[in-house]
């Protein structure tokens, strides 16, 4: 079938977006030192325990880590007994770093290759489990990504995904800061991060938030429907995470203070364009002040904990477990 002009335009847009995404992320993961990387793997174990998922859940399973980044989740699944783990991602350097770390840990059943979640290089019904964390909302075509992931997952197979949710104050702030960051420029933001001595994990998170080419947000209703129409069952949303900024208003405030440090450093060290760094600093401060005021209202009994968290965190991240149906 001959490609239409629309098909060609869509294909070029996807290629451009994936190239930009891969280029942004591939050099962020190798910045993790051994301590930070170990902590990121251990975070996988902590979340499983919190969700009451047994440690032998992955034993003898074929697993896909779709958008594997630096391989931390691939390595965690392999260390928990998976018979095969395939990590796919768009970033060459991140994939090389993942392979290096797996080899250094003596993990032989984890493999890493460059591939898009929109065109997964495995046959139908191949995997017992798919891990898909923090990727759907940055793809060019989320429906095609879910179609592909559903295709390669066995009936009865388990599917985990993480997406950013609607509501709260962090993401509306990020949306505004993304516009400022675009005008400031990546090199100037990276200089501010270096001047602020932010650790590699914060550098990765914040550059992701500010410069990832595509970024979408999901209501729970939208996310649930997207899984239901693809035949997924036993869909459950895990509780608010204990291990990141969603844990409490205090942790939320700390996270925003770290984010603000980028813009504060730009002002302190007079990095051009300093006026845009100043705007970013002030925007962060306004939300930080709101978080602090909300925490005081909760402490005084003026609002409930649920109301406070809804105001500040909204629905939070959607961390979802589901099972592919047999139909």
DSSP for 132-174 reads EES-GGGSS-HHHHHHHHHHHEEEEEEEEEEEPBS-SSHHHHH
Least confident of 7-16, 127-136, 231-240, 296-305: 7-16
Which residues, 6 or more positions from 87, have their beta carbon under 8 angstroms from its beta carbon? Answer: 64, 65, 68, 71, 74, 95, 98, 110, 111, 112, 113
Residue 218: the pLDDT is: 94
Model-level pTM? 0.93
| Contact by Cβ (8 Å): 24, 207 | yes
Task: Report the pLDDT value the prediction gives residue 146, as an integer from 0 to 100.
Answer: 98
Distance CA 255, CA 219 (A): 22
The answer to which of 86-90, 103-107, 311-315 has the lowest mean pLDDT is 311-315
What are the C-alpha distances in Å from 303 to residues 99, 170, 295? 49, 20, 9
CA angle 159, 163, 167 (to 5 degrees): 140
Which pLDDT does position 7 carry in this prediction?
Answer: 58
Please give the share of the chain, as a percent, with pLDDT higher than 70. 97
Phi, psi angles (nearest 5°) of residue 143: -65, -45
CB-CB contact of 313 with 246 (8 Å) = yes
**Cα distances (angstroms) measured from residue 326 to each of 154, 188, 190, 225:** 9, 51, 48, 18
Give the pair of three-digit tokens for residue 252.
Answer: 């939320």
Mean pLDDT computed over 6-12: 65
Q: Give the chain's mean pLDDT.
A: 93
pLDDT above 90 covers a percentage of the chain that reads 85
Average pLDDT on 102-112 reads 97
pLDDT of 8:
59
> Does 97 score more than 80 pLDDT?
yes
């Amino acid at each position: 079938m001959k490609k239409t002009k629309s098909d060609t335009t869509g294909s070029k847009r996807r290629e451009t977006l994936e190239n930009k995404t891969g280029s942004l992320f591939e050099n962020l993961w190798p910045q993790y030192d051994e301590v930070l990387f170990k902590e990121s793997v251990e975070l996988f174990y902590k979340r499983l325990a919190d969700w009451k998922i047994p440690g032998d859940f992955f034993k003898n399973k074929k697993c896909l880590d779709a958008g594997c980044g630096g391989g931390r989740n691939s390595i965690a699944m392999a260390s928990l007994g998976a018979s095969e783990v395939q990590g796919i991602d768009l970033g060459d350097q991140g994939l090389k770093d993942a392979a290096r770390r797996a080899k250094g840990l003596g993990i032989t059943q984890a493999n890493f290759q460059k591939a898009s979640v929109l065109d997964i290089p495995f046959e139908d019904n191949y995997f017992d489990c798919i891990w898909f964390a923090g990727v759907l909302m940055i793809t060019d075509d989320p429906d095609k990504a879910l179609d592909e992931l559903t295709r390669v997952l066995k009936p009865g197979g388990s599917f985990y995904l993480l997406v950013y949710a609607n509501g709260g104050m962090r993401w509306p702030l990020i949306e505004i800061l993304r516009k400022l960051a675009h005008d400031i420029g990546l090199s100037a933001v990276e200089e501010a991060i270096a001047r602020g001595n932010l650790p590699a994990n914060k550098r990765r998170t914040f550059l992701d938030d500010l410069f990832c080419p595509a970024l979408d947000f999901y209501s729970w209703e939208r996310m649930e429907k997207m899984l239901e129409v693809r035949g997924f069952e036993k869909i459950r949303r895990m509780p608010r995470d204990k291990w990141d900024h969603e844990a409490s208003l205090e942790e939320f405030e700390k996270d925003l203070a770290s984010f603000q440090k980028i813009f504060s450093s730009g002002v302190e060290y007079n990095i051009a364009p300093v006026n845009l760094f100043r705007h970013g600093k002030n925007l962060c401060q306004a939300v930080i002040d709101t978080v602090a005021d909300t925490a005081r209202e909760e402490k005084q009994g003026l609002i409930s904990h649920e109301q406070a968290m809804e105001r500040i965190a909204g629905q939070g991240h959607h961390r979802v477990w589901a099972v592919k149906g047999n139909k």
